[in-house]
Each structure stands twice: as C-alpha cells, then as structure tokens.
A and B are shown apart, each in its own frame.
Chain A
Amino acid sequence: DIQMTQSPSSLSASVGDRVTITCQASHDIGNHLNWYQQKPGKAPKVLIYDASNFEAGVPSRFSGSGSGTDFTFTISSLQPEDFGIYYCQQYDNLRFSFGQGTKLELK
C-alpha cells in the first residue's frame, strides 16, 4: 500500500492568514492526489483533484500543487467557514489511501 504522510496534524490560524498543509507519498504517484475537507458530522467533500484542479464550486482561495511524492494544499486567505479537518488522498489502480488529516482551528 502507498502510505501518505500529512503535516501538520493540527494548526490554529486567524481569519485572513495563509495556511499550508503538506502531504508526502511513499511512492511516486504522479498527480494522483486529491484534497478533501471534512466538517463535524459530515462526510468529506473533495476540494482539489489531480493535485491542482478545482472541484466545481470550490472557492478560488483553495489551491493545490505538487507531483511525484510531495504535495501542498494552500488556503490563501482563511475564512471562518474553513475550520474542519483536511485530508489528502491518493489513488492508484483502484486503491486509495488517505493522509492522517490536519485539524484546522480558527484562533
């Protein structure tokens, strides 16, 4: 299985801050990397697919980059509704694996 290492595990930031989360794959996965946001009591919602593509309706303050083994997810200007847990997810031959998650709290 491909292992995904996500960091940090938690972070606290203020409205307007720039926030960055990283995800590292144990093997080269090309651009097969997606990012999700999960709110309490809800299922995860995809924000970015294939490392850098926006899912429809996702605000432009969210972005992703990277390829191979190292990936970055950025929120350019944090908004109050952005609290939650963020996960990266890789896909390879119909096998998925998720990162451990980053809990984003608002100061």
Chain B
Amino acid sequence: EVQLVESGGGLVQPGKSLRLSCAASGFTFDDHAIHWVRQAPGKGPEWVSGISWNSGRITYVDSVMGRFTISRDNAKNTVYLQMKSLRADDTAMYYCAKDRAAGGDGWYVDHWGRGTLVIVSS
C-alpha cells in the first residue's frame, strides 16, 4: 500500500523558517516524481513544488521561488521542503503528492499524504 506521511508543520512567526518532510513507502520511490501541494482552508489546491525521480528537474510556483527549496533522499525514501521567510499567505495544509510519472513533464497525482498544517502568524 502506498503511504506518504508528512511531518514538520506547526505554528511559526512571519519571517521564520520551517522544514517539512515526507516519508514514502509502498512503491519504488526513485521511479516517481514527487510534489508538494498546499491547500488553504476553504480554498482549492495550489501546486507548490515538484522534484523529478533523480532530482534532475526541480520546479516551483512563482510565489515561493527563492524562499522554498525542495530536495529528496532516495536512500531514505524521503522528500523535504525547506521553507524560509514565511508569510501569512503561506498558511495552509501542505500535502506530499506522488506523481504517476518519473519526471519530465510530470503527469498527475495518484496518491496524496494526509498533510501537515503550517500556520504563519505572530
């Protein structure tokens, strides 16, 4: 069974940093791209970042470029999202999402984690 388990969320002040982790199991981890997708309360999903199977392609939504860094450790079956200079509008549930494809264009999300909540507030 595919499992994606996020951790690292919490309450953080504006301007501070946080690192999210996503531990994956139940599939061949290095065969798939992984994404972070966030969803604010009552809003639709917003794609945040993607990383190909071998970290050869890394992408971000414009609003987090230069502040967030995605990485993966295929030996540990884990993906990370380092978030710096956090703002109130980064407040959301952050989901780790497995791509059906290995990389390239990406494709679609076929499995989601349960999410980890990030609240940016003073």
| A contact residues vs B (CB 8 Å cutoff) | 1, 32, 34, 36, 38, 43-44, 46, 49, 55, 85, 87, 89, 91-101
Contact = CB atoms under 8 A, between A and B. Distances in A.
B35 interface: yes
30 contacts: A32-B105, A34-B108, A38-B45, A43-B113, A43-B114, A44-B109, A44-B112, A46-B108, A46-B110, A49-B100, A85-B44, A87-B44, A89-B47, A92-B105, A92-B106, A93-B104, A93-B105, A93-B106, A94-B50, A94-B52, A94-B104, A94-B105, A94-B106, A95-B50, A95-B59, A96-B35, A96-B47, A96-B50, A96-B106, A97-B47
A38 B43 CA distance: 12
A49 B105 CA distance: 14
Given A93-B104, A97-B61, 20 more contacts: A43-B95, A43-B112, A43-B113, A43-B114, A43-B115, A44-B109, A49-B107, A55-B110, A89-B47, A91-B105, A91-B108, A92-B105, A94-B103, A94-B105, A94-B106, A95-B47, A95-B61, A96-B37, A98-B46, A99-B44
A89 B35 CA distance: 13
Nearest to B60: A95
A87 to B, nearest CB: 6
A83 B109 CA distance: 21
Interface residues of B, number: 29
A81 B100 CA distance: 26
A34 B51 CA distance: 19
B105 A87 contact: no
Interface in B82-122: 95, 100, 103-110, 112-115
Contact of A91 (B51, B52, B106, B112): B106
B33 interface: yes
Nearest to A98: B45
B45 A95 contact: no
A96 B106 CA distance: 8
Nearest to A1: B62
B57 interface: yes
B59 A93 contact: yes
